[in-house]
């Protein structure tokens, strides 16, 4: 199958390597010149569970996307704020039968993708695979993960199952989901609490969880996500989601880690994905006439912090 990875960062690189090893013809698109350069020179170098690999790929910068390659399947793996730009630049690779799979964290990416592709060609999912970018052209891929996905448009279940099968055949432990929106909202609740709150309080997950006000803040934010989700026929189980978030506080688990937004904003002074997590809930809240003050306030605080730190 002709697969394009649109955004060959850490996670895109993992999927590229595994899908290529699974027998697919994989092309990369990326926006980082040094990364493209390194992959052209040495292939994509990876440490995959201890095994050192160097895998050659055709790779194109976004401004040089080929006009003679049409993909069967495109996986978008950009940062949320780069998705729209990426969708524009990969237009030449999208044919009448090209499917788009979006596994990005956050809420509402389908609205962006639907501006460029018909709904019946869009598949949404999420993944718990992990990946680290070590430097240009080099990734570290440890541990196991899985993927769930579903068709955006009702009636395209068999196509979704075909996409899942392509990923599963490559060892990506992919499965069709009956209710991917539930999984997406549930995962967005984790990101919508820990990311922003740990960043603004300058703490790791365990420290956040140890505060006496953590539960009230988490419950209120999850309540806002649930109120918005209800307007999209997703009924979040609030106590279950709160418990799921509170399980991450364990210092023996991921508690000692700083969430990705903390790393982006506080360590690296990069702009965050807040507009696609809490900010997306605020926008949907406005649309559905649901008050989302904690999401609004947290989004405003994170943007203020981005500006103060001159995040790029």
How near is the Cβ of 304 to a copy of itself at its closest, in Å? Answer: 4
Interaction between residue 158 and a copy of itself (CB under 8 A): no
Please, which residues bridge with residue 140 across strands? 47, 132
Interaction between residue 207 and a copy of itself (CB under 8 A): yes
Rounded to 5 degrees, φ, ψ at 45 are: -90, 135
Residue 258 has what DSSP assignment? P
Interaction between residue 144 and a copy of itself (CB under 8 A): no
Q: Are strands 138-141 and 44-48 parallel, antiparallel or unpaired?
A: parallel
How near is the Cβ of 263 to a copy of itself at its closest, in Å? Answer: 18
Interaction between residue 200 and a copy of itself (CB under 8 A): yes
Interaction between residue 212 and a copy of itself (CB under 8 A): yes
Shorter beta-carbon distance to a copy of itself: residue 98 or 300: 300
Residue 213's Cβ-count burial label (10 Å; 0-12, 13-18, 19+) is: exposed
Shorter beta-carbon distance to a copy of itself: residue 32 or 297: 297
3-state secondary structure of 251: coil
* Binding residue for a copy of itself, selected from 111, 202, 240, 247, defined by CB under 8 A: 202
Going from the C-alpha of 196 to that of each of 44, 212, 252, 266, 287, the distances in angstroms are: 32, 17, 22, 11, 23
Rounded to 5 degrees, φ, ψ at 307 are: -70, -40
User: Using CB under 8 A as the criterion, what x/- string covers residues 272-311 for binding a copy of itself?
Assistant: -------------------x-xx-xxxxxx-xxx-xx---
Q: Using alpha carbons only, what angle is made at residue 131 by residues 126 and 136, rounded to the nearest 5 degrees?
A: 125
Rounded to 5 degrees, φ, ψ at 178 are: -75, -20
Shorter beta-carbon distance to a copy of itself: residue 60 or 294: 294
Cβ–Cβ < 8 Å for 227, 285: yes
* Binding residue for a copy of itself, selected from 16, 87, 172, 214, defined by CB under 8 A: 214
* Binding residue for a copy of itself, selected from 133, 203, 290, 311, defined by CB under 8 A: 203
User: Using CB under 8 A as the criterion, what x/- string covers residues 238-277 for binding a copy of itself?
Assistant: ----------------------------------------
Residues found near a copy of itself in the complex (CB under 8 A): 197, 200-203, 207-208, 210-214, 216-217, 220, 291, 293-294, 296-301, 303-305, 307-308
């Amino acid at each position: 199958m002709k697969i394009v990875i649109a955004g060959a960062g850490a996670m895109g690189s993992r999927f590229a390597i595994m899908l290529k090893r699974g027998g697919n013809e994989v092309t990369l698109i990326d926006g980082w010149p040094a990364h493209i350069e390194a992959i052209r020179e040495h292939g994509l170098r990876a440490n995959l569970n201890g095994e050192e690999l160097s895998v050659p790929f055709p790779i194109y910068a976004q401004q040089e996307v080929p006009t003679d390659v049409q993909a069967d399947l495109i996986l978008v793996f950009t940062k949320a704020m780069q998705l729209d730009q990426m969708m524009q630049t990969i237009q030449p690779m999208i044919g009448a039968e090209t499917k788009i799979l979006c596994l990005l964290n956050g809420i509402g990416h389908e609205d962006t993708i639907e501006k460029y592709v018909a709904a019946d060609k869009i598949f949404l999912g999420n993944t718990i695979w992990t990946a680290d970018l070590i430097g240009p052209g080099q990734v570290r891929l440890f541990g196991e993960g899985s993927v769930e996905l579903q068709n955006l448009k009702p009636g395209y279940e068999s196509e979704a199952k075909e996409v899942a099968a392509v990923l599963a055949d490559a060892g990506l432990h992919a499965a069709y989901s009956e209710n991917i929106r539930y999984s997406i909202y549930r995962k967005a609740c984790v990101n919508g609490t820990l990311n922003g709150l740990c960043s603004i309080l300058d703490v790791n997950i365990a420290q956040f969880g140890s505060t006496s006000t953590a539960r009230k803040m988490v419950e209120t934010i999850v309540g806002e996500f649930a109120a918005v989700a209800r307007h999209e026929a997703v009924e979040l189980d609030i106590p279950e989601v709160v418990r799921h978030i509170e399980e991450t506080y364990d210092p023996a688990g991921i508690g000692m880690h700083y969430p990705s937004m903390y790393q982006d904003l506080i360590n690296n002074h990069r702009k965050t994905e807040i507009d696609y997590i809490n900010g997306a809930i605020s926008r949907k809240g406005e649309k559905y006439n649901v008050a989302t003050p904690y999401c609004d306030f947290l989004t405003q605080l994170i943007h203020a912090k981005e500006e103060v730190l001159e995040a790029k």
